[in-house]
Chain A
């Protein structure tokens, strides 16, 4: 018996030693690792297939673009192209930097650029086509590429599409390119993919051939969490260095924590109450909403500052106009006399004056001809934490001015269908714009109305104006930036005064990072933007480790110890069980 026990103890000790030594061996000269926590797995590593924020962040790291966007204000800056020139605003000649290489050592030439632009146009890649649809590129020599636009395009010379390595992707483009898993890890940006565990994490390693030079961080690990509290706990315990999308209810508590910085980053995204204007699209919207007086009354019934405080906890910005870009330069100042601020008395008065009176005394106004009450169908999303509090506030305020509502809740697909078919009066949803304002502006043109259910347009307010369309066409070809900004301001002011959308507030990304590991976090745009998951995320190459803080896995020996202890503990329990069983047996035998 004694010998057995001795052997077991020895085995446990040996096992413990193995664990501790293996754990120690892996922490030799650990790479400087930035670990980012987020709540969204990457959908696809392939830029012709994915569409989630996590994927854009990864492509931004792996694939450099011809031109970059400045951290401060998104101004166009040299990137793979060191310079460019154009005589007529249609033909641009870009000169690439000298000696560019892909991360696998192959030369990066004008041929890669031309191939990417032309193939993405021909195959209509989802993330490229909006930029390259009218472009034709020709490689003049290794470092010179000529890009011709068939129409004047104010986005040029900005060329912010991911340039893909032809030597990897050409073969894929012969078939259905969107099915390629793209785990090759070859790129030209600051970091390239080294591994991915679906549902868990993916790792990007510093690219020694990045044109700015190898970043100071050796690798970036993205860690997927499915529980927000667990993610915040991991930040506090130092398991991760950065958190994207801190749950709103944990944000305030986290900002009081020492050694952790929290921030809100605006990206132009917003939430709106939309009204069905019935301007030519499908549907059966309430006739009252075609009357500007009613739309203004609704806007004046809503106490936006209170809603912003109670629903968004004042995270974000209280802006009343459409967000068309993360760059605040595009946001106009609405003249004070045109602002539709909270004023329920005025709202009631104007409804009264326009003939919307409560004739039957039930507290709800009727149409001037008495045909039907002002009872609006109100549609909302089921997957948003904000939907319920927004609904409670808005429907309450509308009731105060004599407007009734009937609430329906949908998932995103159903709500898209309801909107496309125009079978709604009001709905609450949101948008997030691109850097260039054109796409967001285009959604409210007459051409985007849904007139055929088989071909759904983006114009979800069923609103359309020839004046807006004319301005839209002007800005689309205006190459003078200052003039274009002025046109866009006019468009947004018009859209605001038409009150087809009541923009409730502009939301913000909630982020947090530890201060003991890295410094050099860069906000984009400056002061108001986030530090990672921005448009181009310059932080990845501006971050530097703090001495003594950002070593590798400095707790791995500790980990080994714990495993050793755990194994020992299990063995101990086993031994106890063994003795208990043995004494029982002896007892039984005595019985």
Chain B
């Protein structure tokens, strides 16, 4: 792989992040000029007290001064204070990352089963396996995750009582170690299954069509002519070539792991990034939103960078061009 290709991609990623920083800052300032008045409406505060709050949240001075102060903070790794909780944004985000990684990461991995189903279905196009897998995937793909979540919650949590209604831990639980981990797994089963069901169709459909495209290639005929068994042809010659669209889909989805799953986190009161985003939007708590958007964008940009580099590795034609 050429060094120029790699360096070019990295510079591209960094400049995109820089653009996001600038854009987010001014976007929220345009939407929302000075939230202090509305946040403290009816709190019986003096104008001096309100002014002090503005200074604290870096809302005094001109937009340009605010921007310079924001960038300076950012370069020191400081994302400022949340308007709602008065806590450092980085601290709030750090707390929310683990539950999100656990939930969305697990379900993304689970959903990748769809890739293998898709390969098999695409390879035996028109078979009864293909027909069943495709129609099931279409159905789950079309179901909104919010709806699947509500049904799962109503049946398995509220109805049968097999699982807790929401959260990451039993409330007030003092369990530690293995017991705590099992408690968290118990809470995670329902939301993770819901997300996996919602995502699996997407992987299946992409993998299937990639496989169908590949299966028309001449080199597969050659491989069969060499006398290789059908499974061998699929594993050695078809699958690697059908990998590209699947890699880019997976990379992008892994980028979105950090953005959480707003709908499912909301139904299951899962204390992750998606829930924090929802809280921040209802504020609106824009230091928090800026921090979250930066994190989410950086994750997606990074995932795309990885996908680009992987492309170059998997298909030398891409990097060589």
User: Chain B residues near A200 (CB, 8 Å)?
Assistant: 167-169, 171, 269, 271
Question: A226–B264 Cα gap in the complex (Å)?
Answer: 10
Smallest CB separation, A21 vs chain B (Å): 10
Q: Check if B87 sits within 8 Å of A181, measured CB to CB.
A: yes
Q: Check if B38 sits within 8 Å of A416, measured CB to CB.
A: yes
Q: Check if A563 sits within 8 Å of B186, measured CB to CB.
A: yes
Residue in contact with A51 in the complex, picked from B33, B39, B95, B175, CB distance below 8 Å: B39
Question: A126-B45, A230-B269 in contact; A413/B34 too (CB < 8 A)?
Answer: yes
Check: B56 CB closer than 8 A to any chain A CB.
yes
Of the listed residues B166, B265, B271, the one surrounded by the most CB atoms of chain A closer than 10 A to its CB is B166
Q: Check if B38 sits within 8 Å of A412, measured CB to CB.
A: yes
Question: A320–B218 Cα gap in the complex (Å)?
Answer: 82
> In the complex, how many residues of chain A place their beta carbon closer than 8 angstroms to a beta carbon of chain B?
73
Question: A439–B34 Cα gap in the complex (Å)?
Answer: 23
Check: A411 CB closer than 8 A to any chain B CB.
yes
Check: B179 CB closer than 8 A to any chain A CB.
yes
Q: Check if A239 sits within 8 Å of B32, measured CB to CB.
A: no
Question: A569–B271 Cα gap in the complex (Å)?
Answer: 27
Check: A211 CB closer than 8 A to any chain B CB.
no
Q: Check if B49 sits within 8 Å of A416, measured CB to CB.
A: no
Check: B296 CB closer than 8 A to any chain A CB.
no
Check: B291 CB closer than 8 A to any chain A CB.
no
Which residues 131-174 of B have a CB within 8 angstroms of A?
150, 153-154, 157-158, 161-174
Number of A-B contacts (CB under 8 A): 181
Residue in contact with A420 in the complex, picked from B37, B179, B266, B279, CB distance below 8 Å: B37
Which residues 21-60 of B have a CB within 8 angstroms of A?
32-35, 37-50, 52-53, 56
Smallest CB separation, B235 vs chain A (Å): 11
Chain A contact residues: helix, strand, loop or mixed:
mixed
Which residues 244-282 of B have a CB within 8 angstroms of A?
265-269, 271-272, 275-276, 278-279, 282
Question: A416–B271 Cα gap in the complex (Å)?
Answer: 31
**Looking across the interface, which residue of chain B has its beta carbon closest to that of A588?**
B231
Check: A566 CB closer than 8 A to any chain B CB.
yes
Q: Check if A44 sits within 8 Å of B85, measured CB to CB.
A: yes
Q: Check if B166 sits within 8 Å of A230, measured CB to CB.
A: yes
User: Chain A residues near B128 (CB, 8 Å)?
Assistant: none
Q: Check if A230 sits within 8 Å of B33, measured CB to CB.
A: no
Smallest CB separation, B291 vs chain A (Å): 14
User: Chain A residues near B275 (CB, 8 Å)?
Assistant: 199, 226
User: Chain B residues near A60 (CB, 8 Å)?
Assistant: none
Of the listed residues B87, B165, B173, the one surrounded by the most CB atoms of chain A closer than 10 A to its CB is B165
Of the listed residues A199, A239, A240, A415, the one surrounded by the most CB atoms of chain B closer than 10 A to its CB is A199
Q: Check if A439 sits within 8 Å of B44, measured CB to CB.
A: yes
Check: A521 CB closer than 8 A to any chain B CB.
no
Q: Check if A414 sits within 8 Å of B32, measured CB to CB.
A: yes
Residue in contact with B49 in the complex, picked from A41, A129, A413, CB distance below 8 Å: A129
Check: A203 CB closer than 8 A to any chain B CB.
yes
User: Chain B residues near A198 (CB, 8 Å)?
Assistant: 85, 92, 95-96, 271
Question: A141–B129 Cα gap in the complex (Å)?
Answer: 86
Q: What 0/1 pattern do residues 403 to 445 of A give for CB contact below 8 A with B? A: 0000000011111110010000000000110100001001100
Check: B219 CB closer than 8 A to any chain A CB.
no
Q: Check if A239 sits within 8 Å of B38, measured CB to CB.
A: no
Q: What 0/1 pattern do residues 554 to 580 of A give for CB contact below 8 A with B? A: 011001001100100000000000000
User: Chain A residues near B153 (CB, 8 Å)?
Assistant: 229-230, 233
Q: Would you list 8 pairs from A and B whose C-beta atoms are within 8 A, ordered by A residue?
A: A25-B179, A181-B87, A197-B168, A221-B172, A236-B158, A239-B164, A239-B165, A411-B284
B residues at A contact (CB < 8 Å): 32-35, 37-50, 52-53, 56, 81, 84-87, 92, 95-96, 150, 153-154, 157-158, 161-175, 178-179, 182-183, 185-186, 189, 229-231, 265-269, 271-272, 275-276, 278-279, 282, 284
Extra A-B contacts (5), CB below 8 Å, given A224-B269, A226-B266? A46-B86, A51-B40, A223-B167, A237-B157, A413-B39
